Structure 1
Amino acid sequence: MKQRGLTLIELLTGLALIAIIATLAAPSFTEFVDSQRRQDTAQQLSSGLRMARAEATLRRQPVIVQALEGKWSEGWHVFIDTNQNQLRDDDEPILAERSGYRNVRVVGNGRLIRRVGFDNTGRPLNNANGTLAVCMKDSPISHYQIAIAVTGRVSLRSAGFSTEPCA
C-alpha cells in the first residue's frame, strides 16, 4: 500500500510561503490596529466630555475632565469639582476614568491643554473652547478632532480641518 503525505520539501515550501505572507501582512495589520486605537480614543474622549457636560447640568455643580499627569495621551478622569478650584482633590468623587493608548497622542490647544470644565449651565469654564486633536505618536497628521464650542457643545470631526495641531 502506498503512503500519502507531504515530503519535507513540500512542507518547507508551504511554511516559507506562510512566512512571506505573514511578513507582508504585519505592517497593514499594525496600521489597522493603530487606526482603531485613534478612533476609540477620539470616541471615548468625546463621550467623556459629553458626559461631563450632562453631569454638570444635572448635579448643578462644576464637572472637570482632567488629563492624567497633565497629558491627554496618558488618559483622563472626570470628576465633580466640589470646591471649584478646577483641580482634583482626594475628597472629590471621580465619575469616570480612562487610560490612553501607547501609540496615540492627544493634543489640546488654547485653554484645553490639561483640562476642560463645565459649569452648572453646561458652558465651558473660563471660556475654554477649542479643539483636542487625536494623532499618531510620531506623526504630525490628525485623523480626529474634538471641538468644544463656546456654548459647551462637543463635536467629533474626522475630516475638514483648517489647521494641524499635531505638528
Structure 2
Amino acid sequence: MPQRGFTLLELIVTLVVLALILSTGLPQMNHLLARLNAHTFAHSLQEAIVTTRQRAILSNGRATLRAIDGWNSGWEMFEDRNHNGAREADEALVFHHSATPARSFTVQANKPVQSYISYVGSGAGRFASGTARGGFQAGTLHICTQDNAVGYALTLARMGRLRLRRIGADDCRAGP
C-alpha cells in the first residue's frame, strides 16, 4: 500500500522557503501600509476642509475646522458664530473626527493653519479674530510617513481653495 503525505524533510524545506519569502516581503508590506495610512489621512483631512468651506458658503457665516490637540489627534467642525476660532457651548458642532491611535505618519503644519482653518461666507479662508472679517488665512500641512520617504501636502490658498499633492522625501524632511 503506497504512503500518502509529506516527509519531514519536504515539510522543513517548504517551511524554510516560506520563511524566506515572508522575511523579504513583510518590510515592504509595512512600508506600503504606512503610505496607505498617510494617503487615507490626507484625503480625510482634505474632505473635512472642503466640507467646512462648503458649510460656510451655504450658511453665509463662519465655519471652523479646529485641530484637537494637533491634527494627528483629530478635528471638529463647528459654526463659529463669535468668530474666535474656539467652540463655545452655544455653537453647533457639525462633526467630530477622532484619529486612530496607531500612527505610521506625522502631520506638520505651518503657523497659519497649525490649530484651525476657518472660512467665512464668501468661501475665503480667514483668521478667527473675533470679528466677521479677519486677515486672510493660507498655509500648508504635510502628512508624511514616519521615515519621511513619501507624503502629501495640503495647501490652503488665499481664496480658500485647497490643493492636495504628493511630495517626496526632501519636502517631508524640510516641513511646510
What TM-score results when the alignment is normalised by the length of structure 1? 0.88
> Which letter maps to 2:2?
K
Are 1:129 and 2:138 an aligned pair?
yes
Q: How many residues align?
A: 165
> What CA deviation, in whole Å up to 9, does each residue of 1:92-148 have, x standing for no partner?
222223233512211111311111100111111121101111112353x55210111
Structure 1 moving runs of 4+ over 6 Å: none
Q: Which runs of 5+ in 2 are unaligned?
A: 128-135
C-alpha separation between the residues in 2 aligned to 1:138 and 1:35? 10
After TM superposition, the structure 1 = structure 2 runs for residues 91-102 of structure 1, keeping only pairs within 5 Å, are: 91-101=90-100, 102=103
> Which letter maps to 1:58?
L
C-alpha separation between the residues in 1 aligned to 2:97 and 2:175? 21
Going from structure 1 to structure 2, the CA distance change for 1:163 and 1:20 (only over 3 Å counts) comes to closer
Considering only aligned residues, what root-mean-square deviation do their CA atoms show, in Å? 2.2
Q: Which runs of 5+ in 1 are unaligned?
A: none
What TM-score results when the alignment is normalised by the length of structure 2? 0.84
After TM superposition, the structure 1 = structure 2 runs for residues 30-69 of structure 1, keeping only pairs within 5 Å, are: 30-69=30-69
1:92 counterpart SS class: coil
Q: Comparing 141-150 with 39-48, which one deviates more in the overlay?
A: 141-150
Are 1:106 and 2:107 an aligned pair?
yes
Contact kept, 8 Å, 1:72 with 1:105, in 2: the verdict is: no
Contact kept, 8 Å, 1:135 with 1:166, in 2: the verdict is: no
C-alpha separation between the residues in 2 aligned to 1:88 and 1:138? 35
2:43 counterpart SS class: helix
> Which letter maps to 1:72?
W
Q: Comparing 48-57 with 80-89, which one deviates more in the overlay?
A: 80-89
Q: Which residue of 2 aligns with 1:146?
A: 154
1:47 counterpart SS class: helix
Going from structure 1 to structure 2, the CA distance change for 1:21 and 1:161 (only over 3 Å counts) comes to closer
Going from structure 1 to structure 2, the CA distance change for 1:132 and 1:54 (only over 3 Å counts) comes to same
C-alpha separation between the residues in 1 aligned to 2:147 and 2:152? 15
C-alpha separation between the residues in 1 aligned to 2:87 and 2:170? 33
> What CA deviation, in whole Å up to 9, does each residue of 1:55-110 have, x standing for no partner?
001012211111111x1111212111123221022342222232335122111113
2:117 counterpart SS class: strand
2:36 counterpart SS class: helix
